[in-house]
Amino acid sequence: MSLAGAPASHPLDVLTAEEIEAAVAVVRASGRLSETARFSYIALQEPPKAEVLAHRPGRPVRRRVRVQIVLGPGLDMVEAVVVLGQGRDADELESWTPVPGMRPALLFEESFGAIVAVMENPDWQAALARRGITDFGTAQIDPWPAGSFGLGHEDGRRIARCLTYIRATATDNGYARPVEGLIAFVDLGRAEVLEVVDYGLVPVPEASGTYGAEDVGPLRSDLAPLEISQPEGPSFTLEGNLLRWQKWSLRVSMDTREGVVLHTVGYEDSGRVRSILYRASISEMVVPYGDPGPMHGWKNAFDVGEWGLGRFANSLSLGCDCLGEITYMDGLLADEHGNPYPLVNAVCIHEEDYGILWKHTDLNTGNVEVRRSRRLVVSFIATVGNYDYGFYWYLYQDGTIQLEVKLTGILSTQAVKPGERPDHAPLLTRDLAAPVHQHLFCARLDLDVDGADNEVHEVEAERLPSGPANPWGNGFRPRSTRLNTESEAARITDTALSRRWRVVNPGVRNAAGEPVAYQLVPGPVPTLLADPASSVGRRAAFATRNLWVTPYAATEMRAAGEYPNQHAGGDGLARWTQADRSLIGTDVVLWHTFGVTHFPRPEDWPVMPVEYTGFHLVPVGFFDRNPALDVPPPPGHCAAEADPAG
């Protein structure tokens, strides 16, 4: 008999605590786990897409749970799938698949063990003593993913490189006082310090980097209260993880790695819900640093695959992280022993006024028509080490979808000798600098524009040569090129030509006789600056292009592969697209790399103001006319107040 409790009502319902416990119980009952085994990932094994789309209310739902297990201190990993029984059916272990040589995301328990091991290590203590630091309890140890550089320490081990900072007090900002030149290599599985490397003495900066309200001096006193009120409550409803707002409907869930995931995003048009997005999430991200020296040149964190955005999601606070009439969703994750635990207020859902939606003043009649824009916000914030990332999905009344990422937090710092001006690390203070770096995100966007059989076209401006057909030399037009194969679809943005990518359903036509479409509108975004043949270039090949397109495959979920930690590279998109599969007459998935190249500045210290990046998905002929014409005018709106005479 199943131990999973009440059956799910929809295939994409989030896992319950009972379902997690039932899956873990099945794995443990197999007798294949030792006391040292740890669960690195537990999540819903999403059903096949066709099964989800064919589901109707009241039908039974078959639930599977995907489990990744670290069997011991080495590289023994297993992927298991547990089928949860229905009613009197027993839960059962469906598959048990070893994944030799792979490494999971860094485990919290092991990372804490690495910190303890470093602080107890005599070589590390001696290195601090050489710098005049004898109170080792003031140290802050940050374990970093070690990367893949062919070092002996990497062979057969799961390792971290640990950096050291000094905190004058328990609440101090340790990043103000980096211990430059000191790195400890730690075997995570065995909590063993393998080597302490000391590249030489650089004075530890003395200035504080605290930034709390009590630390920064007199606060501004001229801010009048700003209140947002919805006395009748919000305009959306949330039933389980099914969110409905205006004409939008979608499902929202929290994944251990990806953070918030959107499913089955649709828009009601003429009485039916039209599909737009089947699944959208942040598949991977990489933060490569541009200082080529031995102290910082190895830094390139994959914050999805090596850590997990969901694991680092904040518990959000009303009036601080979110303002207005807020509805929160809790997350439900599992720890490394397989125990479910709630993450309270993990997702914030609310509405925002967003200025003018549309307006026109008729200068002949003086008639004024204006509508205000309102958008729905689905957001979460993850703190991964020193950086904080806010992910904000916006739905607009005109059918637009936007993802905005807000970057803030604290820079990764390095100490510099007096009078030194590093080439690769702008100064923040006289003795503190921050290496240049990038934040490159890859969104996996499984668009189903009025169905799954879509094509992708690249659309950009084409300048026309001067001549008889263009006598004034002003002519230009849109040029559309269908991307037929995966190799053709590995593309880079060109803002000078307003390049964007259109997902077209050739089998559905609008009132103008054109195929319906949605287009990805990128921002002015970079690609990876590291050499493609470098270690990070091989591991983060997804970041060498702003667009990739693949045929839908349920197993292709992570842009850098399922296990990027210490991977030599060449996995994920780099491997899948070598097949150069056809993109015609199939279900396509877009992978969009976007982000920022960060040249740090003093104004980013001691804590960064928010920096923004992201993209839009915009309807192009998906609707027959402006779909927001039916938005009612604002209260007190007068359509004839304008004076045509001025």
- Kindly state the tokens that stand for 112: 């804490």
> Using the 8-state DSSP alphabet, how is residue 289 labeled?
B
Query: Cα-flanking dihedrals φ and ψ of residue 536, to 5°?
Result: -70, -30
Angstrom distance (rounded) from CA 297 to CA 292: 4
Angstrom distance (rounded) from CA 70 to CA 104: 7
Among 303, 388, 431, 587, the one annotated catalytic: 303
- Kindly state the tokens that stand for 192: 């063993």
The pairing of strands 192-198 and 178-187 is antiparallel
**Which run of H or of E encompasses 575?**
helix 573-576
CB 184 within 8 A of CB 193: yes
Angstrom distance (rounded) from CA 44 to CA 19: 9
CB 12 within 8 A of CB 240: no
Angstrom distance (rounded) from CA 565 to CA 271: 47
Angle, CA 445 vertex, CA 440 and CA 450 arms, to 5°: 155
Reply yes or no on whether 612 is catalytic.
no
- Kindly state the tokens that stand for 433: 């600098």
Type of residue numbered 594: F
CB 503 within 8 A of CB 447: yes
Contacts of 285 (CB under 8 A, 6+ apart): 302, 303, 304, 439, 440, 441, 442, 595
Cα–Cα nearest to 259, from 340, 378, 144: 378
Reply yes or no on whether 387 is catalytic.
yes
Coil/strand/helix, residue 158: coil
Cα–Cα nearest to 537, from 527, 547, 525: 527
How many Cβ atoms from other residues are within 10 Å of residue 635's Cβ? 5
End-to-end CA distance of the chain: 78
> Using the 8-state DSSP alphabet, how is residue 557 labeled?
-
CA distances from 438 to 285, 295, 512, 549, 570 (A): 10, 17, 43, 23, 20
User: SS in 3 state form for 115-148?
Assistant: HHHHHCCHHHHHHHHHCCCCCHHHEEEEEEECCC
Among 278, 387, 392, 563, the one annotated catalytic: 387
Active site positions, annotated: 303, 387
